[in-house]
Chain A
Amino acid sequence: MATAAATTAPSWTPDQPMVCVKDVRKSFGAFEVLKGVSMDVAKGETICIIGPSGSGKSTLIRCINALVDIDGGSIKVEGQEVNDPKLDKLKLRRKVGMVFQQYNLFPHKTALQNVMMAPINVLKEDKAKVEDRARKLIAKVRLTGKENNYPGELSGGQQQRVAIARSLAMRPDIMLFDEVTAALDPETVKEVLFTIRELAEEGMTCILVTHEMKFARDVADHIYFTDKGVIVEHAPPAEFFENPRDERTKTFLGQIL
Chain B
Amino acid sequence: MACDVAPPDAIAAVGCWIQANAGVNLTILHDPFDRSRFISGIGMTIWLSVVSLFFSLIIGVVGAWAQGSDYKWIRWLINGFIVVFRNTPPLVQIFFFYFGVSNLLPAVEDDVGMRQPLLTNVQWAIFSLSLFAGAFNIEIFRSGIEAVPNSTKEAASALGYTRLGTYLHVVLPLAIRVCLPALNNNLVNLLKTTSLAYAIAVPELLYASKNIWTDAQNVPTMMVVLLLTYVALVGVLVWAMNSWERSMAIPGFGQGRGR
Contacts and interface: CB of A to CB of B under 8 A. Distances in A.
Contact of A118 (B161, B250, B257, B258): B161
Interface of A: 65, 67, 90-91, 93-94, 96-98, 100, 102, 104-108, 117-118, 121-123, 149-153, 163, 166-167, 170
Interface stretch (B70-78, B93-101, B150-158): B150-158
B89 interface: no
Contacts of B258: 107
Interface of B: 149, 151-152, 154-162, 165, 169-170, 173-174, 177, 250-253, 257-258
Contact of B159 (A107, A152, A153, A166): A166
A121 B174 CA distance: 17
B152 to A, nearest CB: 5
Contacts of A123: 160
Nearest to A122: B160
Given A100-B151, A107-B252, A122-B165, 6 more contacts: A118-B160, A122-B159, A122-B160, A150-B251, A152-B253, A153-B251
Sorted nearest first, the 8 A-B pairs with minimum C-beta distance are A152-B252, A104-B155, A118-B159, A94-B160, A98-B158, A107-B253, A122-B160, A93-B160
A123 B160 CA distance: 9
Interface of B is mostly: helix
B154 A104 contact: yes
B152 A106 contact: yes
A150 B258 CA distance: 13
B159 A150 contact: no
Given A151-B252, A153-B252, A108 B159 contact: no
A65 B157 CA distance: 10
Residue of B160, B161, B162, B174 ringed by the most chain A CB atoms within 10 A: B160
B154 A152 contact: no
Contacts of B149: 104
B253 A108 contact: yes
Interface centre among A91, A96, A121, A122 (most CB of B within 10 A): A121
Given A108-B177, A150-B253, A121 B152 contact: no
B157 A93 contact: yes
A150 B173 CA distance: 14
Contacts of A106: 152, 155-156, 169-170, 174
Contacts of A90: 160-162
Contacts of B155: 98, 100, 104-106, 163
A104 B151 CA distance: 6
Contacts, number: 80
Contacts of A163: 155
Contact of A91 (B154, B160, B161): B160
Given A121-B169, A150-B252, A107 B174 contact: yes
A247 to B, nearest CB: 35
A102 B161 contact: no
Nearest to B257: A152
Given A104-B152, A152-B257, A122 B252 contact: no
A117 B174 CA distance: 15
Given A65-B158, A104-B152, A104-B154, A121 B251 contact: no
Contacts of A107: 152, 174, 250, 252-253, 257-258
A170 B160 CA distance: 9
Nearest to A96: B158
Contacts of B165: 121-122
A153 B249 CA distance: 13
B150 to A, nearest CB: 10
A98 B157 CA distance: 10
A104 B156 CA distance: 9
Given A100-B151, A102-B151, A108 B173 contact: yes
A108 B250 contact: yes
Contacts of B170: 106
Contacts of A153: 251-252
B250 A150 contact: yes
A100 B155 CA distance: 8
11 contacts: A96-B158, A98-B158, A100-B155, A107-B252, A108-B253, A118-B159, A118-B160, A121-B165, A153-B251, A163-B155, A170-B160
A152 B257 CA distance: 9
A197 to B, nearest CB: 22
A154 to B, nearest CB: 8
A175 to B, nearest CB: 11
A23 B101 CA distance: 61
Contacts of A100: 151, 154-155, 158
